[in-house]
Amino acid sequence: MTSVTHHNKTAIGALALMAVLFGACKNDPNAVRALNEVDEDPMEYQENIVMVYTDSALKKFELRAPTAANYPEREEQEPYLEFKDGINVLFFDPDGEQESSMRGDYAIRYPKRNLWESRGNVEVIGKTGEKLNTEHLIWDEIEETIYSDEFVTINTGKEIFMGEGFEADQGFTEYTIKKLVGEISLEDEENTALGDTL
């Protein structure tokens, strides 16, 4: 297996997430089921959502969403919170500085497993400007990780890595591409373009 691993030694530790609102439970990453369409009305519907999560008076992250629908537990279906119009999340380090951001066109949260799924133009941007793009991402609140088994690109500003599947801390300071399928050096392209103009 070919992998690309990045470590930022100056990064501050991972964030403790969602502990204020939801209780913790043990997650099985292999148990994450696919997003599904359920023909039923939500128990609660909200608009213009702004959620700020703190722990010991420290701001951990801020989530914004145009809409949210809360679906209760049903027979053979666990409860979930659906964000049909997408989410935008800002993560903060212990000094209160923004550490990373995450967005997606659609998201769903499974409170019993403390897991999020996001689909459609999912983007994560780290503090140093590194950018990840994929069509499907899972965010594990307890492990404080993000991951996917689908195609991803990571733009470091100097190189673009393409691969199948990745794992990263939610602050996006460390990441691993599971199967590297391509690599582009942006510096080489800049030098080539400069040479063509001379």
Query: Buried (b) or exposed (e) across 169-181, using 16+ Cβ within 10 A?
Result: bbbbbbbebbeee
pLDDT at 114: 87
Please give the Cα distance from 95 to 19 (Å, whole number): 19
Tell me which residue of 14, 16, 20, 25 sits closest to 114, measured CA to CA: 25
State how far the alpha carbon of 22 is from the alpha carbons of 17, 71, 120, 166, in Å: 9, 15, 25, 26
* CATH number 3.40.367.20 given to 15-23+38-197: no
pLDDT at 51: 87
Walk along the chain (198 residues) and give the pLDDT tens digit of each residue. 445 555 443 333 333 333 333 333 344 444 444 444 444 677 899 999 998 988 788 888 899 999 999 998 887 789 999 999 999 999 888 888 899 999 999 999 999 998 999 999 999 999 989 999 999 999 998 888 999 999 999 999 999 999 999 999 988 999 999 999 999 998 765 555 445 555
pLDDT at 96: 86
Please give the Cα distance from 129 to 135 (Å, whole number): 20
Token code pair at residue 155: 């733009």
pLDDT at 162: 97
Find tokens 């307890």 and name the residue: 142
Q: What is the pLDDT of residues 66-110, one digit of tens each?
A: 999 999 888 778 999 999 999 999 988 888 889 999 999 999 999
* pTM metric for this prediction: 0.74
Sequence letter at residue 120: G
pLDDT at 197: 52
Please give the Cα distance from 107 to 89 (Å, whole number): 11
State how far the alpha carbon of 92 is from the alpha carbons of 40, 116, 155, 193, 194, in Å: 36, 18, 21, 38, 39
pLDDT at 184: 94
Please give the Cα distance from 104 to 135 (Å, whole number): 9
pLDDT at 170: 86
Domain coordinates in residue numbering, the chain: 15-23+38-197
